[in-house]
Amino acid sequence: MTSELSTGTATEPPQEAGVRTGRRPGARLPAYLRPARPGMVGHYLSLAVVWSLLPASQRLDGASLATLLAFLLGEVCLVAAAVAFDDVTGYRGGSDAANHGPDAPARALARKPLPAGTLTEAAAVRFAWCALVAGCLCWTAALVWVPHRPWWAVLVLVAAAAVVVPQYSWGLRLGYRGFQEVFLAVVGWAFVLPLFGLLTGEATGPAAVEAFLFGLGPVLVGVYSDTHDAEGDRAVGRPVAACLLSLNGNRRFIGALSVLETTAIVTAPLLGFCPWWFPLAFVPLKATRVLQFTVGMVRGDVLRGRLIGIRAHRILVVTLVAVNLAMTGLA
């Protein structure tokens, strides 16, 4: 659900023989872990943002910490399910082999266990369904002991777990209907605002602004991945912005996303959601965004631009946490 969501059309697997004969004994556990993307922690950092948004008296409350832990485990499982389903779809269509194969050495084929032959298609599908069920159970447990259950927060979580995650590249295959960038932003938003609502019973202005900013982080990683993978995605009919727009149009679109991020930061104090100094805290983030765009779009090193985007998202989270602690007090 970050830039890891690279899909393909559902055709016959081009490298089935490699899957049947290429798996190494004892490699099953690492192969199962790869679809979970344990190194991609961008979405999971939402817990730090939500925790810092809580009133100081609630941050060490047992019920709140238990809810955060259950929600985190659910996030990990649901993201793993979405990525595993996506890997199967990308493998069937051949886009993963094209985008991560020998002709693309910067992106190791081993990151994709199906074309690499370290995991069978059936095993990946089983893993995806098991991860989905586990994620739903974790979020159900969180709903049992949360102090509040506003209808909108519960509705968003149920929709995310039961409809959006399994249907992104499986079933309805929402990732093929367009607006993938909006989808990534909404997922990031859903990992912040509903949880905050469950813990506090409300959706405040600062929480809404920070959820919006957090959601833009994965988008500003994914658009660089999509730019790199545009040829393969275009061949399988995946309607991401990089495939639908011209090269210059895609650059302008990515630049506009960064401008949108800046607009949200500057507007928050004007709306009374945050203190006047709120935009000043994000100067390092915006400097990193300028570097990301320069390297990725101007110089054309899109994969390095993607890496800078991952770092920028972490800078965003650190900034949000620091700002929240300053606004609400450390204790």
Nearest alpha carbon to residue 324 among 179, 213, 187, 158: 213
pLDDT above 50 for 66: yes
Helices 302-328 and 46-53: angle between axes, nearest 10 degrees? 20
* 26-30, 104-108, 302-306, range with the lowest pLDDT: 104-108
Average pLDDT on 230-237 reads 78
The predicted pLDDT at position 40 comes to 66
pLDDT tens digit sequence for 282-312: 999 999 999 999 999 999 999 999 999 999 9
What distance in Å separates the CA atoms of residue 63 and residue 138, rounded to the nearest whole number?
Answer: 15
Share of residues in the chain with pLDDT > 90 (%): 43
Q: Are 110 and 102 in contact (CB under 8 A)?
A: no
Between 328 and 81, name the one with better pLDDT: 81
What distance in Å separates the CA atoms of residue 257 and residue 254, rounded to the nearest whole number?
Answer: 5
Average pLDDT on 51-57 reads 92
Helix intervals (H) in 146-204: 151-159, 165-167, 180-190, 193-200
pLDDT above 70 for 109: no
The predicted pLDDT at position 27 comes to 47
pLDDT tens digit sequence for 2-20: 444 333 333 333 443 333 4
pLDDT tens digit sequence for 126-178: 888 998 899 989 988 888 888 888 999 888 888 877 777 777 777 777 777 77
Average pLDDT on 23-34 reads 55
The predicted pLDDT at position 21 comes to 39
